[in-house]
Structure 1
């Protein structure tokens, strides 16, 4: 039925976006009402002041003033307190947003995208309500003029209508809200449809009273609700309580009830009227937030522990590097001292009368002590990763088989060796002598861990390793040495590879065995891993990089006897360069004993001055680690002066530059060396011997 022009009401549409205003106009055009449009809060207020408006549709998000602020301003004006305000929101609407809207004066929320039928239905209801209210007001005015005698009845009817309208407005203003009324004297409870909907109950199938309602309240909250309700009634104070109810579908829902006490004429309580709204989504969001916070705290704790672990590892690496530098430097200095001692003892033995057995015995004793010191420095260098390595392709199965008798003698008869070495095991790239020494050290440690005997396992297999713990990705051979001994606790295992750490008694161990093996693995491009438990024995895994091919290893043919008897070295003029005076004197004496003329220099600069002076020099032997100018730098200067000059580089370190430069292709004489090593190295650089003990070509490293 068409609406008369005079009965049409004004509907105000407020949105800062013209496109949305046009869409609302299209949707509401079928209502046949007056549509007023405003692009801002200021323009909306101007329409309200000029026109009588029944319904206001307000966008929540607008510049300058948002929808909540505009609604509050409308409600503050006495003329606009009864206008129906509907919020239109394009963002997700939470319960807190709804409550804020209702507190601002809204009667409903419409989410975007808008369902046209829903929006038309909601606006039609409030427009009809406004129209009916306006018609009723006109009718009331006419009735007041025409029928004075019905004034009292009309006022009573209007009061009942207002009371009913308040409850209906509450029900329609909240999608998840319901209103209720509790008569304190009779105990009768009245629910609206919204309250039944909250519980999931049908109005005709459930009679609300104190007992029936209590059955739906969570047992843990039942006493709380009972006490709060009666406390509000007795004190005449508002009720505000939160509790859980069991929905008809079996789920538990969180609700909040807010109510006020209505007193009678004497001031006593007559009833408690209030609303209940569902806050389950808010509680779930709070729970999710707490869970997220707990998870975040847990992850922060894990990250903190990881960071502390990484810092501890970094500190340990820095500590081990510092100790390595210290021990490497000490070993270098010891090598120089042992160099002078061994050289001097060797010459003294040659020059003393051979018939004095006591003096020769003392010299041999001193020489053996010096050689033991040399072995100790080699272990220090191995730990510091500065030892002289001669890596080559090594057949692990053949190497273990070659030293099996030596291992068995070191282990004793109470320990049995169990091998698991495949015949097709590929070769590894390692210094064969150092690997033999490493296996012997591990065997001795295993023997000490098995005082009553046991089994020493030696196994090997190939593995493809990813980049981890300092390893480069590639092919490796994993050598496993295990024992059935007493094992180690966690604290001992954590310190097992530290230098000088030992569980053996005083004088029974240097604490460098595992450190040397660890250093050998790292310097060879591999990795060492220990695992052990008390009473379960110890397992040591040693990863070594696989070699591409097996290189034939010839026997070392040069020795002091061979050099002196089979080799012929004409007297040469040797420039000896070493900053250590003791080493310089000792080496010069050995060279002079071999029949050579020695010119000594104590620095690279001094050596260059000698060369520039025109003095005849046939060969240069220079130390590498010297202040001011290293032996390698001196060699580069000498190559420019005398490209054909034979040069021998003497050093106690392995950390020397490598590369294709011909200056780097120098034979190296490892300290401490003996006279036979010195003689053999001269044969090598003069082209009279293919190789010599203790002489390492740099290009073969």
Structure 2
């Protein structure tokens, strides 16, 4: 049996109810929708309401005979191509048969007829009808998709060209036409390359041998996101990003291409604005850092100087003990060394900026340099109540390095670690060797560095805003990084 929604209509026309009943009994097993009409007029009325796969039409009927009914059926557009099989008990003379075929009959069946033959012939037209309806539905769906695609292409914000294998435009959407300043009808049938890359004397001359757009139009593969320049009809240009996708037939042969592109003018303007904003904020940050540096410099230079002047005035008074003299000389020396270190840092940064900062590379034992830096840092650690430990692997490694500058780097890092470690806590240094490399690590138990500040910790004039013990000029780590890089190493926090 056939599903109800898949059944087709078959029109049975005969003025004799018994004949209609016989036809119905023979064709019932086919599972189709059998529509019966007892006259030619009834058949014409049924054709107004339904579409039929085939009509079985009796020739001998009163009022309108079969031939007259067939003639009227063929006059209507809706039923002009509907297959008609004549059923007749008339003689098989050629005149009647010829007249039937002249009226568009597809077959003649003489009574009495064989059920199997009738079913087979009707089934042929049922299948043809189904295939014809399937093709019709496919054509309708294809038409719908074509219209839908046309609407999508016309509504697309990106420019779209369709071109053949010779680069001739076969389609252009409104966005593309608007971007190049032309009407769509003026683009179709034109060479796309010459439209978008015209030769403009004194402005532009395109060499197709080196043109990425021309190359993309004439190759088999997809070209993604190529940045180029297109020209408008008035000669002005605009930056674009385009893609060329080949169109292939069922055999894989290229029959054309689709070009999609978008105007980068606004994107570049936005990027430029963002870059200007970034530079402005960067300049503001640098100005703030400079102001902070100058304020800090004034304070840091004045502090040891104030201490020196104070002790000098005390000594000039002449009334002091031997112990007070020793303390005064020690404080003057300490303040002078601090001021010297500040001035040395400033001079080092000046040499770095001018490109005159150099290192004196000589064969040294790195472990000895590290040990010396730790030894120099111990008094500061002891004064602040910080435990300073070290683990230095014993080895006879000799490296090419500037011992003074490396000791400066290690001493600076240890000094920072001790400065920001609370009393009773620990600072640890380790020198390790692995895979032919030497690694020096310093770890402390201080409050740590704000993760948002880590990317800037080695920049000049930068100090963490949250540092409660912030002192110095913020130059030490920047100098340390430069020294390490001159040794072909790297330093991280």
User: Is the TM value for this pair above 0.5?
Assistant: no
TM-score of the superposed pair, with normalisation by structure 2: 0.36
